[in-house]
Chains A and B, each alone.
Chain A
Amino acid sequence: MNKRHYIRNSSQDLRLFRWFSAKQCALPTPKMTENGLGHREKVLNMNTMNPNVKRVEYAVRGPIVQRAVQIEKELKEGVKKPFSEVIKANIGDAHAMGQKPITFFRQVVALCAYPDLLEDNKFPDDAKNRARRILQSCGGGSLGAYSASTGIEVIRQDVARYIEKRDGGIPSNPDNIYLSTGASDAIVTMLKLLTSGEGKTRSGVMISIPQYPLYSAALAELAAVQISYYLDEDKCWGLDVSELRRAVEAAREHCKPRALCIINPGNPTGQVQSRQCIEDVIRFAAEERLFLMADEVYQDNVYAEGCQFHSFKKVLFEMGPEYSNTVELASFHSTSKCYMGECGFRGGYMEVINMDPQVKLQLTKLVSVRLCPPIPGQVLLDLVVNPPRPDEPSYATFIKERTANLEILAEKAKLTEQIFNTVSGIRCNPVQGAMYTFPRLTLPEKAIAAAKEKGQAPDMFYCMKLLEETGICLVPGSGFGQRDGTHHFRMTILPATEKLKIVLENIRAFHKRFTEEFS
């Protein structure tokens, strides 16, 4: 029985199979159309498709998640399962996990969307003032007009002021702020600018392993060279500059290293970088003339005592003009994480430092082709950077909601680490920040062999089995990258505490069963 035949036999496997990258999926394309006319090949088929697209992989919404959606449908149709609901712990989607939106934010969005509400006395004055101010800076006073491609001017100003305040007064220029469609949009745009050259001069981009797979996906799509540097799991996923040096030296043989991406707090690894470490990284980037990309979307998600978020920009400026006038830096933020978790609005911004003025114009030109980031997302971002002030009527509620969200997250981070570390065969670093735990799994040899037989990564095999048996949807560590021979999964800590406890218990029980089954 050939491989193709086998796949055709199982629609479920087929669907999953299609997700794998080209190297795993080098199959002949059938010269048959769906309806069986059979005489012509499609214009767009797996052989003619953009090969860079084929190489793209994005595990966070990969085959496991596809299967989870399918199982959800089966449950709705009454199919019997050993569980009653699918719990999607694959993605940092706070509202989907039941977190409530910040009232003030949504009031302002509603006021902007439907300005008749400005006459409604149920809305507080501070919300109305914010809405009026934003609408005044929209074309025709409407959310429905395009904004400038870099974003609404007053919002860019608010963002700059927010950054200044965050960084203890280090100046921020609104001209350096570009609003974006979520942070992903800006990250991809920056990588696009940085990609050039052919062969040995092709741009190389350093990314952490484990990484958030947006990076590897964007690099694959751009056909840039991925340079992996490994975080040190034994030191709480710490970043070691000697490892950066090793990676860059090795890469120089076959590409031109030009950018260094850092995710702090870490995704999927949850570590919070120390100030010293950031300084070392900046010094390294300066020496190697690397463009620094700092993904700081989890900057408000720091839980561990003794840990503190330090922005790359602040550290850069504290290192003196030798650095602050030269090192090129882009840092990214988003409305999707932190205490507000407004993923669906696709709001975000980046700040660029020391960017060549001509390149900046090219950047503006490039983003103008897509016209502008969604305005409701820009509005939400404005509220994040300009929340109610102590003298305003919405302040008390706002602080209460924000504190509650962050406190619960901190509690869940601790709970997750504690429970996992009681399971033999699971080892979990402290979740210092962000929204995920990335524990290491010890898998029996037999399970690894069984996975191999199925053509799956061992942790994919594990997660798939977990999903089928418990309804819990996680992402295998192989989707983020990990040291050879190690296995992990990523799980969000976002489910409500009660539910999270059940999830953790179920994983513990599953892990025990799994280990026994394959021993």
Chain B
Amino acid sequence: MGGTGRRVCFARQVGFPICRDDITWRTSSCLVQSIRFKTQGPVEQYGLKRYSTAEATVVTRENIKMREKTLTMETLNPQVKAVEYAVRGPIVLKAGEIERGLQQGQKHPFTEVIKANIGDAHAMGQKPITFLRQVVALCSFPELLESPSFPEDAKVRAGRILQGCGGQSLGSYSASQGVDCIRRDIAAYIKQRDKGVPADWDNVYLTTGASDGIVSILKMLVSGQGLSRCGVMIPIPQYPLYSAAIAEMDAVQINYYLDEDHCWALDINELHRAYLAAKEHCHPRVICIINPGNPTGQVQSKKCIEEVLHFAFEENLFVMADEVYQDNVYSTDCQFHSFKKVLYEMGPEYFNTVELASFHSTSKGYSGECGFRGGYMEVLNLDPEVKAQLVKLLSVRLCPPVSGQAAMDVIVNPPLPHEPSYPQFHESTILGALAEKARMTEHILNAVPGIKCNPVQGAMYAFPSIFIPPRAVEEALGMPPDMLYCLRLLEDTGICIVPGSGFGQREGTHHFRMTILPSMEKLKVLLEKLRDFHIKFLKKYSSLEELER
């Protein structure tokens, strides 16, 4: 039995359009073969080599009788090939395809695709914060500063930002680290958030979304060859930006597993285990933490953060704290603690030595302004010469988008109680609604047999574990079973979610990530559809005994 044949067959089963035309066929098979899971064992196990690179190339050569291209799958940067990003991976591409089909009148058992794959609040109907958009509009078209329909506080903010821009225009480049006055505002905000812990604006760098800052810092850190190659500790499950960046830089990914049975908590013993194991084959130099967790939604306790920082101190690791969900904490018994504040409270021995970069963004929180690509990072204890190198590196890309910087400024410098926009700004119910959706998601999912969901303490996602019957696993034929599950779900219901395998998970477990962002009504419908699908799926693939067990 040829493995390849069966796999193509599988592609047909799961609905990749293998027959429509050559290009889509190659597209699909290429997508399938690019799914690779470092967290789950060697590549060959999933048939990467057999599955398609070579095969599809043959098709290309047969069909197009021309000389070989300069840039082909064979000559492509192998690190680029190794990159994976499930949040916009094959399921999402398939969803886009179905959506276009629906528009063209194709029949499906549903009328719309619901994209719950990504934390994209506005796309899910969340309204922008009026004040933020007023300031951005004023900055974009300063003639509006004369308009009586804009509040004074918005005008003052806009005027101040424009003062900080070359030629008082959003259209000029800013300094590569960002507009000076915005960096100062961010430092003031951090200081206030951390109850007075000093923040130096010279340590603040604006970025193109948090992703940009994370990749830049990783880039600085990656060096060495063989046993001295830089190792980066990341949680599993993780946000796949990390694994993608590590693959692109050819650094060594060191997995530490979060404890699903303890609400995805980080266990310091697991950090030690992962660190010691990795030391055999690389030089661990960085630890990445996502708090509140993405995709896992846990909020780290202060004690746990202390332990991590102590560990980093002991083992001489650079700490990268991804804190983009810092305002998204829902559980009443949880609280966000910034790594920086905890580090400060541990005393000068720690605060003056541990190298820390923390990241924030305009995309999450209550504002959800993803499209502006605003963000910042604060670095602590960075070697001054390295800092100059960082500025140099950032300067090659000139500057982060200035409108995103303006949006960031509004987020760190919102209306004050005595200002005219304060009441409307303060009335915003966005975070309250998110908390409610977090609870509802947990409850509904936990009522479904074969689904188990930890509380969504923070962030914007549920990451439940799902039981997939052995027969379904068998049918998946080397494709991750939760990928099969998500594809079926998409085809049956139009719901687009991301398989857990795209984030990494303990072997033999299966999950999916879904955002809690759809409106309450839509979310309810979505969860009910999901429940019905899950039961149907179980019935289809299980014997009765299995179900009763």
Contacts and interface: CB of A to CB of B under 8 A. Distances in A.
A144 interface: yes
Nearest to A18: B388
Interface size class of A (residues with CB under 8 A): 35 or more
A193 B81 CA distance: 9
A466 interface: no
A140 interface: yes
Contacts of A377: 401, 403
Interface stretch (A77-85, A228-236, A355-363): A355-363
A101 B166 CA distance: 13
Interface string A49-77: 11101101110111000000100000000
Given A145-B121, A193-B71, 16 more contacts: A18-B389, A19-B392, A37-B353, A44-B386, A58-B392, A100-B169, A106-B140, A140-B123, A145-B122, A145-B371, A185-B397, A221-B219, A258-B71, A357-B23, A358-B73, A376-B140
11 contacts: A43-B317, A43-B355, A96-B166, A138-B122, A146-B123, A218-B396, A258-B70, A328-B70, A342-B171, A370-B215, A372-B373
Interface centre among B174, B353, B396, by most chain A C-beta atoms within 10 angstroms, is B396
Contact of A146 (B165, B220, B240, B370): B370
B381 interface: yes
B403 A376 contact: yes
A188 B493 CA distance: 40
A259 B120 CA distance: 37
B383 interface: yes
A50 B219 contact: yes
A45 interface: yes
Nearest to B357: A44
B208 A140 contact: no
Interface in A218-263: 218, 221, 258-259
B544 interface: no
B316 A93 contact: no
B73 A355 contact: no
A140 B126 contact: yes
B371 A290 contact: no
B75 interface: yes
Interface in B368-391: 368-373, 381-386, 388-389
Interface in B301-347: 316-318
Contacts of B367: 144
A344 B396 contact: no
A181 B84 CA distance: 21
A204 to B, nearest CB: 12
Contacts of A455: none
A196 B403 contact: no
Nearest to B241: A369
A366 B87 CA distance: 12
Contacts of B140: 106, 109-110, 113, 376
Interface of A: 15, 18-19, 29, 33-35, 37, 40, 42-46, 48-51, 53-54, 56-58, 60-62, 69, 91, 93-101, 106-107, 109-111, 113-114, 117, 120, 122, 138-140, 142-149, 181-182, 184-185, 188, 192-196, 213-214, 217-218, 221, 258-259, 289-291, 325-326, 328, 340-346, 354-359, 361-362, 365-366, 368-377
Contacts of B144: 110, 117
Contact of A357 (B60, B176, B244, B404): B60
A153 B320 CA distance: 35
Nearest 3 A/B pairs, CB to CB: A96-B166, A139-B123, A344-B402
Contacts of A29: 383, 385
B6 to A, nearest CB: 22
Contacts of A369: 83, 85, 211, 240-241, 244-245, 248
B27 A361 contact: yes
Contact of A50 (B123, B221, B317): B221
A289 B70 contact: yes
Given A49-B223, A56-B392, A359-B76, A93 B401 contact: no
B122 A49 contact: no
Contact of B31 (A49, A258, A361): A361
A44 B221 contact: yes
Contacts of B372: 143-144, 374-376
A87 B248 CA distance: 40
Interface stretch (B130-138, B255-263, B266-274, B453-461): B130-138
Contact of B125 (A50, A140, A192): A140
B511 interface: no
Nearest to B115: A139
Interface of B: 23, 26-27, 30-31, 34, 56-57, 60, 66-67, 69-73, 75-78, 80-81, 83-85, 87-89, 96, 118, 120-128, 133-134, 136-138, 140-141, 144, 147, 149, 165-167, 169-176, 208-209, 211-212, 215, 219-223, 240-241, 244-245, 248, 285-286, 316-318, 348-349, 352-353, 355, 367-373, 381-386, 388-389, 392-393, 395-404
B23 to A, nearest CB: 6
Contacts of B124: 140
Contact of B396 (A19, A33, A217): A217
A56 B30 contact: no
Nearest to A149: B88
Contacts of A148: 96
A42 B26 contact: no
B175 A48 contact: no
B171 A365 contact: no
Contacts of B352: 33-35, 37
Nearest to B403: A376
A34 B384 contact: yes
Contact of B69 (A106, A328, A341, A373): A328
B158 to A, nearest CB: 11
A185 B212 CA distance: 12
Contact of A290 (B70, B353, B369): B70
B175 A140 contact: no
